[in-house]
Structure 1
Amino acid sequence: MKFVYIHNTKPRCIHNSTMFTVTSEIYSETNYQTTRDGSRAVSKFRFVYPEEKLAGTTTDSDGDLEVPRPRRGLIELEHSEATELRLVGLQVWRGALLLADYLFAKRQEFAGQTIMELGAGVGLTSIAAGIHNPGKVYCTDVDLGCILKLIRGNVERNSGLLTGQVSVLEFNFLTPRGEQSKELLKAIDESDIILAGDVIYCDTLTDAFIGVVDQFLDKSQQIGRPKTIYMALEKRYVFTLEDCDSVAPMYEYFLRQTANKPWKLEHLPLDFPQYFEYDRCKQLVLMKITRR
């Protein structure tokens, strides 16, 4: 099958003599006041705090109604701007920002729940989770490109924002369950809300991620502690000569592979407020997965 990428629906690809690299679109769409130090960048991801409902109203000295100004904040992250495909976690992708918005919108519902992020990249979503959640947040990824060290640095960099504890653990989707660390297995048991943003970009990883979702839902049933997975991704369309149509192969492969699973998979409307600065494009998808 031959694929032809459609303009503006994919990461930019850069070719040199040794490898292909990919670059997240968000850097060219929004000014994150990025500074650079060699191969790494530091960017400011700005957000607006949700408005809290106050009892009654206040007026100024002239008797005019006082309208509270939005309170603003930022998450400062060290990251890469271009990587080879296997190191894309070193970049920031749109799905992480969508999940951060959803966490802010659901802050009261999720308060006190234990949260685990899978494939956390440089940690944006986990840090966003820790802003309003006084409970525990597990931030996990496979340790390629020293990413766990990078995440820990980013958590420390933003520690002043956090109301809860963000712990960084390795979670390799390809590691068999019997070889997972005791620390990780304990965290899986404790987790109530599981987040995953833009974690599928090849069939092998998709199959492995599906196995991880099965693990969480099986554990939920075994220990009687409900677990809910929220998965965000951006559909990346290509044109295939075989279909003579544009398709989103990774998204469609995921749906095919999970069609007969004992899961309840819901596509959630993206009608919640946007708190972070990014382009919430129409290709974004947010799914909620629970056991039937």
Structure 2
Amino acid sequence: MAPEDHEGATSLLQSFERRFLAARALPSFPWQSLEEKLREPSGSELLLAILQKTVKHPVCVQHGPSLKYSRCFLSKLIKKPSGDSVTLSESTAIVSHGTTGLVTWDAALYLAEWAIENPAAFTDRTILELGSGAGLTGLAICKACYPRAYVFSDCHAQVLEQLRRNVLLNGFSLELHTPIDSGSPKVTVAQLDWDEVTSSQLSAFQADTVIAADVLYCGEVTLSLVRVLKMLTDCQRKKAPDVYVAYTIRSQDTGKLFITELDRAGIHWEEVAPHTGKLFPYEEHSAIVILKLTLTGRHGV
């Protein structure tokens, strides 16, 4: 970074820090200057630095502004790199109504960031998400990657109810027939139990791309996921869908069983290269990986 560029970024950071600590009105922040800086290669680093100087500032951690103010600030900040924002209703408890699907987990945020940097993997495609949870990843893809259709799925009634609310909250329709010229993908929310779903039901989705995030939290669920992937392999299609699975490595066993079962099923896998931009304030030291799966042929290792 040239000295003058570094000086400009430092000045911008100070301006954001002072206004945020003083809880100034959001329109008074130098948003236009930020947009100009974000066009530079170091734009993602600048966003992270702004988070450190505002919502993650030591003073704010202990004596921060109101939660409403912080949320409004983050919403406006997220709009700058992506051109839009995602509004989400979720539970404040990690486990609620007997499920962990009512909150957003780190790998879902990580996969959303990767998708925004790699829109070609989703543009003009039909996407099936397995275990959508609160729906953040899918909503980000629908807004930033222009899919043709998007299917949110989960098995828990409370999660499905919240998913429908979040889809509508973000301006998408759940009508069966979305006009082709509407500019929005056709969005549906489907009940999908991995232990009961059939190959014909999966085939009916006609998915070009399948994704899942933070669903490898126990061995039983991991085995159920591989069962679904094997059925997708067997579906009568001209071309098997691309599959991306993101998960947080919480222990050595987190992904070990998954990879072992993929190899046993003859499903090729490869780790996707990390993306460069960070848009969401998840745990910085989380070890998160994304695997791209090929549903034909055996892994060569």
- TM-score tier, shorter chain, comes to 0.5 to 0.7
Partner of 1:186: 204
Question: What does residue range 48-67 of structure 1 map to in structure 2 within 5 Å?
Answer: 48=78
- Residues 1:140 and 2:153 are matched in the alignment: yes
Q: Which moved more, 1:223-232 or 1:72-81?
A: 72-81
Q: Offset at 1:160?
A: 6.5
Question: What does residue range 1-292 of structure 1 map to in structure 2 within 5 Å?
Answer: 48=78, 70=81, 72-84=83-95, 86-131=98-143, 132-144=145-157, 146-159=158-171, 163-177=184-198, 182=201, 185-187=203-205, 190-219=206-235, 222-237=236-251, 248-290=252-294, 291-292=296-297
2:149–2:185 contact (8 Å) kept in structure 1: yes
1:44–1:74 contact (8 Å) kept in structure 2: no
The unaligned stretches of length 5 or more in structure 2 are 1-54, 174-182
The structure showing larger relative contact order (alpha-carbon pairs under 8 Å, at least 6 residues apart) is 1
Q: Kindly provide the CA deviation profile for residues 2-28 of structure 1, in whole angstroms up to 9, marking residues without a partner as x.
A: xxxxxxxxxxxxxxxxxxxxxxxxxx9
Q: Offset at 1:285?
A: 0.9
Query: Identity, % of aligned pairs?
Result: 23
Letter in structure 2 aligned against 1:199: V
Partner of 1:55: none
The unaligned stretches of length 5 or more in structure 1 are 1-27, 36-40, 50-68, 238-247
- Distance in 1 (alpha carbons) for counterparts of 2:131 and 2:137: 10
1:45–1:277 contact (8 Å) kept in structure 2: no
Q: Which moved more, 1:281-290 or 1:205-214?
A: 281-290
- Distance in 2 (alpha carbons) for counterparts of 1:46 and 1:95: 22
- Distance in 1 (alpha carbons) for counterparts of 2:221 and 2:73: 28
**Paired residue secondary structure (1:73):** coil
**Paired residue secondary structure (1:108):** helix
**Paired residue secondary structure (1:88):** coil
Q: Kindly provide the CA deviation profile for residues 63-87 of structure 1, in whole angstroms up to 9, marking residues without a partner as x.
A: xxxxxx7565321111112243850
Letter in structure 2 aligned against 1:117: E
Q: Which moved more, 1:91-100 or 1:101-110?
A: 101-110
Letter in structure 1 aligned against 2:237: I
Q: Which moved more, 1:273-282 or 1:129-138?
A: 273-282
- Distance in 1 (alpha carbons) for counterparts of 2:86 and 2:164: 14
RMSD: 3.1
Q: Kindly provide the CA deviation profile for residues 195-224 of structure 1, in whole angstroms up to 9, marking residues without a partner as x.
A: 1001121111111000011111222xx321
- Distance in 2 (alpha carbons) for counterparts of 1:199 and 1:157: 24
Question: In structure 2, do the counterparts of structure 1 residues 48 and 78 end up closer, same or farther at CA, with 3 Å as the change threshold?
Answer: closer
TM-score normalised according to structure 1 size: 0.67
Question: In structure 2, do the counterparts of structure 1 residues 82 and 45 end up closer, same or farther at CA, with 3 Å as the change threshold?
Answer: farther
- Distance in 2 (alpha carbons) for counterparts of 1:159 and 1:289: 32
- Distance in 1 (alpha carbons) for counterparts of 2:94 and 2:249: 20
- Distance in 1 (alpha carbons) for counterparts of 2:237 and 2:219: 30
Question: In structure 2, do the counterparts of structure 1 residues 223 and 43 end up closer, same or farther at CA, with 3 Å as the change threshold?
Answer: farther
Q: Offset at 1:118?
A: 0.5
